[in-house]
């Protein structure tokens, strides 16, 4: 298949959506209306900073020197590992091609075991994390709670009075973290009338429409309760932005700088991360982070090492123990998630499978994954540009493949 790196001509694209004009390595024309859609997304997810305003989440010191990077490295046998897919078994590399993988990294305590890059990606290029960003917010909130700067048992309005009349005003921060806030909110990624698309527009990810609120703060404060909090799991991207607002308020520091000072500068990462910001500079905490695949793997290693980097404490061990032990699985009964992970739950902005390996993960639409297996001591990172936001079949397929990889190691 011809790569979209080919400049100045029309090339085939692996999305199957026909042919697309490529100029200077960039598919054309990319707009705010189409950049999240195939075939444009494969380029756009790796170049978010060229489409949407971003802030830098800085590492400690300058970026590491760039090196010549092969498209595939590590144990080649792992690329041939038979994995379950489509009712049969196929080599892992075939699954990666079929699932629109942009970057794929498997690591254990000894280091990277296998990595593969496709499309425009390489080892040092950042890729949009989508809702994997939420789980990083969960780690940050854990730090703030550990230092006594906020109490998860307190309502969000105790820290941000502007939320007093909203659904989040009477919800505790723990309920916000566990997505058990009963709120009138639509997470339909394909409906322009949904709240999640409205958040996209306010964040600068889509063109604004008449009647949109002036800013993200106004939207968050306008969301109304739909019932009793704490009883049912309801996935809601607005919850993460509420947590970011609380974090900014209790520290007096903008969210991008908090991520840098409290997380990224303490990890063994090679590159700065980025996060998209709205016109007022408020970070799109629920989905706007971009990192390299290897650097995201360092977050997985932090979780496996109970919040330690070497002998330095970064996230409270108790917070991670509570996270990985899971939340109220009854709250998630009847969900698509529990159809895949029958003992699953959601805790502190992380998905907890309840499987016999204690696996937890972070995930984002269009196929972004950070999978952590404590029993195998393995971290799997996958960046993708799937042509659909999310389906149960794709979620199930990825879980099965990740589990097979971890068992093989």
The residue annotated as part of the active site, out of 99, 107, 131, 385, is: 131
Q: What is the 3-state secondary structure (H, E, C) of the chain?
A: CCCCCCCCEEEECCCCCCEEEEECCEEECCCCCCCCCCCCHHHHCCCHHHCCCEEEECCCCCCCCCCCCCCEEECHHHHCCEEEECCEEEEHHHHHHHCCEEEEEEEECCEEEEEEECCCCCCCCCEECCCHHHHHHHHHHHHHHHCCCCCCCCEHHHCCHHHCCCHHHCCEHHHHHCCCCCECCCCCCCCCCCHHHHHHHHCCCCCCCCCCCCCHHHHHHHCCECCCCCCCCCCCCHHHHHHHHHHHHHHCCCHHHHHHHHCHHHCCCCCCEEEEECCCCCECCCCCEEECHHHHHHHHHHHHCCCEECCEECCCHHHHHHHHHCCCHHHHCCCHHHHHCCCCEEECCEEECCCCCCCEEEEECCCEEEEEECCCCEEEEEEECCCCCCCHHHHHHHHHHHHHHHHHC
Is 131 noted as a catalytic residue in this protein?
yes
Residues marked active site are found at 131
């Amino acid at each position: 298949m011809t790569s979209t790196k080919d400049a100045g001509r029309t090339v085939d694209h692996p999305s199957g959506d026909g042919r697309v004009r490529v100029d200077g390595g960039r598919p054309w024309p990319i707009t705010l209306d189409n950049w999240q859609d195939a075939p444009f997304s494969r380029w756009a997810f790796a170049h978010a900073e060229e489409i949407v305003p971003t802030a830098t989440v800085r590492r400690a010191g300058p970026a590491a020197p760039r090196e010549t990077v092969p498209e595939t490295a590590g144990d080649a046998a792992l690329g041939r590992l038979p994995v379950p897919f489509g009712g049969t078994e196929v080599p892992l590399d075939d699954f990666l091609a079929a699932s629109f993988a942009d970057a794929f990294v498997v690591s254990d305590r000894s280091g990277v075991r296998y990595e593969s890059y496709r499309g425009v990606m390489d080892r040092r290029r950042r890729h949009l994390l989508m809702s994997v960003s939420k789980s990083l917010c969960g780690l940050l909130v854990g730090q703030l709670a550990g230092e006594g700067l906020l109490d998860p048992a307190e309502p969000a309005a105790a820290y941000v009075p502007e939320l007093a009349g909203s659904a989040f005003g009477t919800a505790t921060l723990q309920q916000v973290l566990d997505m058990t806030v009963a709120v009138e909110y639509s997470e339909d990624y394909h409906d322009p009338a949904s709240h999640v698309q409205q958040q996209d527009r306010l964040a600068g990810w889509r063109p604004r429409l008449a009647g949109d609120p002036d800013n993200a703060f106004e939207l968050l404060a306008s969301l109304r309760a739909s019932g009793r909090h704490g009883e049912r799991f309801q996935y809601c991207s607005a919850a993460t932005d509420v947590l970011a607002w609380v974090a900014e308020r209790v520290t007096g520091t903008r969210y991008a700088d908090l991520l840098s000072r409290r997380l990224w500068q303490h990890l063994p990462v090679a590159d700065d991360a980025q996060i998209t910001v709205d016109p007022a500079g408020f970070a799109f905490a629920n989905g706007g982070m971009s990192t390299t695949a290897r650097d995201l793997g360092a977050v997985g290693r932090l979780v496996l090492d109970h919040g330690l980097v070497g002998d330095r404490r970064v996230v409270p061990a108790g917070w991670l123990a509570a996270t990985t032990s899971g939340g109220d699985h009854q709250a998630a009964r009847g969900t698509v998630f529990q159809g895949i992970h029958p003992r699953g739950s959601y805790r502190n902005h992380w998905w907890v499978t309840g499987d016999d390996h204690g696996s937890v993960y972070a995930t984002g639409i269009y196929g972004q994954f950070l999978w952590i297996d404590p029993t195998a001591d393995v971290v799997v990172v996958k960046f993708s540009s799937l042509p659909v936001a999310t389906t149960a079949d794709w979620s199930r397929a990825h879980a099965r493949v990740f589990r097979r990889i971890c068992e093989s190691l």
